[in-house]
Structure 1
Amino acid sequence: MATPEDLVELGRIVSAYGVRGMIKVQPHSAQESILLNVNEWWLARLSRSGVQQEPHRLVRVSRVREHAGSIVAQLEGCDDRDQAEALKGTSVFVSRAGFPSASDDEFYWVDLIGCSVFSTADSSGPVLLGLVREVSDNGAHAVLHIDRQGLDEQGKVAFLTDDKGRVKEILVPFVQAHVPFVDIQQKRIETDWPADF
């Protein structure tokens, strides 16, 4: 089977679990429900810098459940603790096309990355804040990490940088009170967060 082009890394195998070949996976985000609801995972080893060290390989999940903030799973063909331990450090990917449908008011973080964010705080109309680079969880809610954008001297949209040449960042709480509008199809998010915050 060809490797899907829409793979999303959702976690990493951290250890064997028990003596019958089960593995323990630490999910990367609060959306571990994907790993619980998809029975085909793709595994690959990544270097510390995130460079893929081997081709993805498809594995089928025969059992999976939550366990103390992590996921434990039985993979077909992984029948003993030694086989499970050999998978330690391997990243777990799932095809985005295989994600369960999200409800109308929920979004997968991977879909928010790359969206343009506009501030509606100014009465003169929406102002471009930038692009979502990352989404994190601060314990209470998700946070959008937005790389700031604005118009350059030629009037073209460009990333804004600080004195050291780093792209400026703005953090926006991803809660209904501040982010009332998300259109994944149009890759557009609107927030009441001020542009000059």
Structure 2
Amino acid sequence: MSAALTGSGSDPALPADLVEVGHVAEAFGVRGGLKIQPYSAQSEALLGSRAWWLRKGTEVRRIEVADAKRHGAVVTVAFPGVSDRDQALAWKGWTVLVPRSQFPRLAEGEFYWVDLIGCTLTGKNDSDQEVVLGTVSEVSDNGVHAILHVACVEPVAPGQPTQPLLDARGRQRETLVPFVDAYIRGVDLDARRIDSDWPEGF
């Protein structure tokens, strides 16, 4: 593992806004290339950043990225000083992080999944009144569109205290909401809120 690297897990110079965007899945070819598996269908953050941070356990290293490109569902990349397959395989399993501030700007109406996580989701009750349904805990992709995984709460009016909505086993319920125009009315990242027409209890 001979790439020119800097940084450590306790380095105060590490960016405060690092976001996990993927992991090293495998070597690519015989000349030191690597396959990166993105954590979402959006790979712009990987492709648009000149430097990545790689983490394994408590160790964090900074790498200058060369020749990152999409290759099907993965991103292929070359690291400085990594010139053969064995060197590339030494990176397998490392997590890839990129500062949120380096993410490329998206078009109006487009959002990075990481920005949706933690947002409050509102919906409609039987009286067509707006209620809080829960908090987005994860975003996934079904191959057609993004899916919001929502940790449900007892429905209340926006601004009121919330309590987790539990199932029969005492676990917090989760609902899956398609992130499509048919259900989503608006996203306000500043307010950390997503308004939808998703029905209460669905």
Q: State the TM-score, normalizing by the size of structure 1.
A: 0.88
- Partner of residue 10, structure 2: none
Could you tell me which of 139, 146, 152 is aligned with 1:142? 146
| Residues 1-20 of structure 1 deviation map (CA, whole Å, 9 limit, x = unaligned) | 62222221111112222232
CA RMSD between the two structures: 1.8
- In the TM superposition, 1:100-179 aligns within 5 A as 100-120=104-124, 123=127, 125-150=129-154, 156-179=161-184
Distance change >3 Å, CA 121–CA 105, structure 1 → 2: farther
| Conserved? CA contact 2:31–2:84, under 8 Å | yes
AA aligned to 1:92 is V
State the percentage of identical aligned residues.
45
Q: CA deviation at 1:41?
A: 0.6
**Does the alignment pair 1:56 with 2:88?**
no
Could you tell me which of 43, 52, 66 is aligned with 1:41? 52
Could you tell me which of 25, 32, 36 is aligned with 2:43? 32
CA distance in 1, matches of 2:32, 2:134: 46
| Conserved? CA contact 1:121–1:192, under 8 Å | no
Q: Tell me, which stretches of 5 or more residues in structure 1 are unaligned?
A: 46-52
CA distance in 2, matches of 1:130, 1:88: 36
CA distance in 1, matches of 2:139, 2:14: 26
Q: Tell me, which stretches of 5 or more residues in structure 2 are unaligned?
A: 1-6, 8-12
| Residues 3-52 of structure 1 deviation map (CA, whole Å, 9 limit, x = unaligned) | 2222211111122222322111111210012211111111012xxxxxxx
Q: State the TM-score, normalizing by the size of structure 2.
A: 0.86
Q: CA deviation at 1:93?
A: 1.0
Query: How many residues end up aligned between the 2 structures?
Result: 188
Q: CA deviation at 1:169?
A: 1.1
Could you tell me which of 187, 190, 193 is aligned with 2:195? 190
Could you tell me which of 3, 7, 16 is aligned with 2:18? 7
Name the SS for the 1:82 alignment partner.
helix
CA distance in 2, matches of 1:196, 1:82: 52
**Does the alignment pair 1:69 with 2:63?**
no
